[in-house]
Amino acid sequence: MDEKKIILYHGSKEIVEFPEIRTARYHKDFYFGFYCTVYKEQAVRWAVRYTGIGKISEFEYIPNEKLRILHFEEMTEEWLDFIVACRRGQSHDYDIVEGPMADDTIFNYIQNFIDGKITRAAFWELARFKRPTHQISFHTARALAALRFVKGYEVRDEE
């Protein structure tokens, strides 16, 4: 049986051959995890955001139906509520979560919604014209086992 392999990209300041779940100072969209995307351009933006030079780590991902996966096709009410909970520090028991990313602009809208500065309706009005994004986050060792490192390379901000 031919397994479906998906190429994923991780952008950061270093090449990551052996992914791990790291806790950080701030909670991420889908809580603590190892984050990748199917969009190479988005991974490049992640990689170069601080110094203009970064690294891309490329992985093959083979979906495993035995894992507990939450998938958001698009920004929905459920997506928004899940991100708000995760950003507030509420953990979950999914191995993998996949869906749109709350980029810096969307994150500001979410923070304004959390803080009560804008309504839910205002959030959706502001968020609807943003370009498509994608993230897939791996939250357990079982999930990380579905990744195989392919290669890593340097990228630069061309602006």
User: For residue 149, what are the domain limits?
Assistant: 6-156
Does the residue 125 lie in any domain? yes
Q: What is the pLDDT of residue 106?
A: 81
pTM: 0.88
For the chain, how many structural domains are there in total? 1
Amino acid 1: pLDDT: 44
Are 157 and 56 spatial neighbours (Cβ–Cβ below 8 Å)? no
Sign of CA dihedral 100, 71, 9, 17: positive
Query: How far is the C-alpha of 29 from the C-alpha of 42, rounded, in Å?
Result: 16
55 token code pair: 């690294």
Instruction: Give 23-62 as a DSSP string.
Output: --SS--TTSSSEEEBS-HHHHHHHHHTTTSEEEEEEEEE-
Q: Is residue 1 part of a domain?
A: no
pLDDT at site 3? 66
The pLDDT averaged over each successive group of 10 residues in the chain (159 residues) is: 82 96 81 95 92 97 95 93 91 96 81 92 83 89 97 89
At position 86, the amino acid (one-letter code) is: C
d(CA 151, CA 144): 16
